[in-house]
Amino acid sequence: MSGPYYSDDAVTLYHGDCLDVMRDMPDASVGAVLTDPPYTERTHSMAKTNRGAGHGVKAIGFVSMSDAELRQALAECGRISRGWVVATLAYQHAVAMELDPPKGLRVMRVGVWVKTNPMPQISADRPGQGWEAIAYLHRDDVKPAWNGGGKHGNYILPVQQNEGHPTTKPIGMLRDMVRRFTEPGETVLDPFAGSGTTLRAAADEGRRAIGVEIDAKYCAIAASRMPQGALDFGALA
């Protein structure tokens, strides 16, 4: 593992392929994994965004993953986590994981993030998607526990805008997940760190965080969000 791209007392961010970084991480070395893996090439090829600078609808262009690569990455996450692996996924992948989980993991629940300001259906010949699945996976050799009691695992929140990444997740949702799935002082891993929302949420909640991001421009954005300053407290709906 090469040296980190960014590091402070709470956050360590690596620029590179997450599988390369995770292979060097010991078993059960983090409290939980909270992440947003890329979709498949087919899903990304049809994805559009109206977020960010400028006007109009633009294609989303960034690295995609095959189904096999996604399963391999999540299996590594399960090896490294002491318990939970929580991932926002396309609903097709969430269903597939429930039927046939990655090695070492089991699906405890599939939740949803309902977007209050989703991208409209450009073709206008069917309803827009408007939500993403959340797969709550757990190591299959450890008894599950969390801090949410009998609460559900669904969120109704707007799409985060102007963070420099086309699929940034609401920081309020990530802060809530950090509180529910880890204890203060534990480490959160995000192997697909993007613009650093998970890392910032973990630091804000008194946890340590390790992130990996393959795109250098998003590493730069993530690093710029880490210094302590005015905190962006996202409200939960």
Q: What pTM did the predictor assign?
A: 0.87
Question: What pLDDT, on a 0 to 100 scale, did the predictor assign at position 93?
Answer: 93
| Residues 87/138, Cβ–Cβ less than 8 Å | no
Strand ranges in 43-130 using DSSP code E only, listed in sequence order = 48-49, 58-59, 81-89, 105-115
* Minimum mean pLDDT range among 4-8, 40-44, 170-174, 205-209: 40-44
For the chain, what is the mean pLDDT?
87
Residue 198 tokens read as 């998970």
* 110-161: pLDDT as tens digits: 999 999 988 888 889 999 889 999 999 999 999 999 999 999 999 999 987 7
CA distance 128 to 229: 37
Question: What pLDDT, on a 0 to 100 scale, did the predictor assign at position 120?
Answer: 87
> Given a cut of 70, is residue 90 above it in pLDDT?
yes
Question: What pLDDT, on a 0 to 100 scale, did the predictor assign at position 221?
Answer: 94
Residue 44 CA: distances (Å) to CA of 47, 59, 216:
5, 8, 20
CA distance 220 to 231: 19
Helix axes 67-80, 91-99, angle to 10 degrees: 60
Percent of the chain with pLDDT over 90: 74
CA distance 211 to 146: 22
Question: What pLDDT, on a 0 to 100 scale, did the predictor assign at position 121?
Answer: 87
Residue 209: CA atoms inside 13 Å, Cβ hemisphere, count?
Answer: 31
Which domains, and CATH codes, for the chain? 6-224 (3.40.50.150)
Question: What pLDDT, on a 0 to 100 scale, did the predictor assign at position 63?
Answer: 66
* 91-123: pLDDT as tens digits: 999 999 999 999 999 999 999 999 998 888 888
What is the residue type of 125?
D
> Given a cut of 90, is residue 171 above it in pLDDT?
yes
Residue 6 tokens read as 């960014």
Across residues 5-25, what is the average pLDDT?
Answer: 96
